[in-house]
Amino acid sequence: MLCRTLGRTDLEVGVVSLGCEHLIDKPKGHAVSVIRAAMDAGVNYLDVFWAQPGIRDEYGEAIAGRREEVLVAGHLGASCQDGQYARTRDLALSEEYVHDLLKRLRTDYLDVLFLHNCDEPDDYEVVMSQHYPLADRFRQEGKARFIGFSGHNPPIALRAVTSGLVDLIMIQIHMLEHSREGRQELLDACLERNIGLIAMKPYAGGRLLREHASEAVTPVSCLAYALAQRGVTTVLPGPQDHAELRDALSYVDATDAQRDFSQALQDLGTVESASCVYCNHCLPCPVSIDIAAVTRLLDMAQRGAREMAREAYARLTVKASECVECGDCAERCPWDVDAPAAIAEAAEVLE
């Protein structure tokens, strides 16, 4: 398994993680079998937000005797009402369900405790003023190592990032939202502040594979797209069975051609012309400039994170100023990006 460091934490996380959402309501032992198969394949990060007792017991059985092999993320604000999932902002109930999760997982701590599912301004105020102090207390007690923030609204998640209070952000990253307003600003802010970024819903809740599956739109290309976005550490598919787990894990040994998502973006029509998606179809470069990396850093600088972009640029082996202006990259670009002009601008801005 390929691994990356999760932001400012000391956690080394495999690029493909496991969302356990779709393992609920299966025959007894099914979730245990899938989770153990994922762990055997090198998956070392599990997100477990369900509060129903049965599935929590299966989570615990799955990691029994192997707790040190995996990082476990739980959620503060997930509860169970009449046998169904429910989000809650009741502090006592939220605390009760974290203690219940620890008991059923047979562990003393969670590696990550997420402030759960926050997307509205008013709710953000409640979560940060009331639930964050509770999460911080769990951290001080040694029952949570790091605090995360989960949601679906980039501007609200950006507020959590700029608050300086959270270590991690989990938000959906998929091809159908490539141009979603506020997303790039969120990604830049996570990079600038070294906040770990976990990409959930890489298949758009299944829509990409259910409604748009093709030779270009595949599990591998969906995961490759999410992992190519700035600052993303790991992607969190939620397989419901062994076959879907194998589809997700196939990313690890996939070829560059299988990971290519540029045709998928074209087929989906979610990218405007003359917009770089960092797919590297412009390569090879005769002087070995990493054109996608340089363009990504230029975009970051233009969105306001200039110093961080310059620091990252300084670590590149070949600089933009070494461009020989052959023009081959522009001819290869499927998005009609004027790559030589971008490279020249990067040399001006970043050197």
Where does residue 288 rank: exposed (0-12), middle (13-18), buried (19+ CB within 10 A)? exposed
Do 242 and 314 share a domain, yes or no?
Answer: no
Q: Which of 231, 253, 268 is the last residue of a domain?
A: 268
Do 58 and 161 share a domain, yes or no?
Answer: yes
Most confident of 66-75, 82-91, 268-277: 66-75
Do 205 and 305 share a domain, yes or no?
Answer: no
- The answer to the question of residue 54 being in a domain is yes
E strand or H helix that includes residue 221:
helix 219-228
So what's the pLDDT on residue 109?
97
- The answer to the question of residue 281 being in a domain is no
- The answer to the question of residue 277 being in a domain is no
Q: Which of 216, 234, 268 is the last residue of a domain?
A: 268
Task: Categorise residue 5: left if φ over 0, alpha if ψ from -120 to 50, beta otherwise.
Answer: beta
Domain that holds residue 8: 3-268
Most distant CA atoms of the chain, gap in Å: 67
Is residue 63 scored above 60 in pLDDT?
yes
So what's the pLDDT on residue 106?
96
Beta bridge partners of 197: 169, 232
Do 64 and 180 share a domain, yes or no?
Answer: yes
Q: Are 46 and 18 in contact (CB under 8 A)?
A: yes
Do 130 and 256 share a domain, yes or no?
Answer: yes
Task: Please give the sequence-ordered ranges of beta strands (E in DSSP) within the chain, or none if there are none.
Answer: 3-5, 12-14, 18-19, 45-47, 71-76, 78-81, 84-87, 110-115, 144-150, 168-172, 196-200, 232-236
* pLDDT tens-digit readout, 86-100: 889 999 999 999 999
Do 233 and 195 share a domain, yes or no?
Answer: yes
* pLDDT tens-digit readout, 202-212: 998 888 998 89
Is residue 279 scored above 70 in pLDDT?
no
Domain count, the chain: 2
- The answer to the question of residue 194 being in a domain is yes
* pLDDT tens-digit readout, 223-267: 999 999 988 999 999 999 999 999 999 999 999 999 999 899 989
Tally of CB atoms within 10 A around 120: 12
Look up tokens 């001006």; give the residue.
348
Do 220 and 305 share a domain, yes or no?
Answer: no
> Which is it for strands 12-14 and 168-172: parallel, antiparallel or unpaired?
unpaired
* pLDDT tens-digit readout, 122-138: 999 999 999 999 999 99
Q: For residue 331, which of 284, 270, 261 has the smallest C-alpha distance?
A: 284
Do 42 and 140 share a domain, yes or no?
Answer: yes
Do 82 and 195 share a domain, yes or no?
Answer: yes
Task: Please give the sequence-ordered ranges of beta strands (E in DSSP) within 70-143, or none if there are none.
Answer: 71-76, 78-81, 84-87, 110-115
DSSP letters along 18-61, please? EE-GGGTTS-TTHHHHHHHHHHHTT--EEE-----HHHHHHHHH
Which CATH number is 168's domain given? 3.20.20.100
Is residue 277 scored above 70 in pLDDT?
no
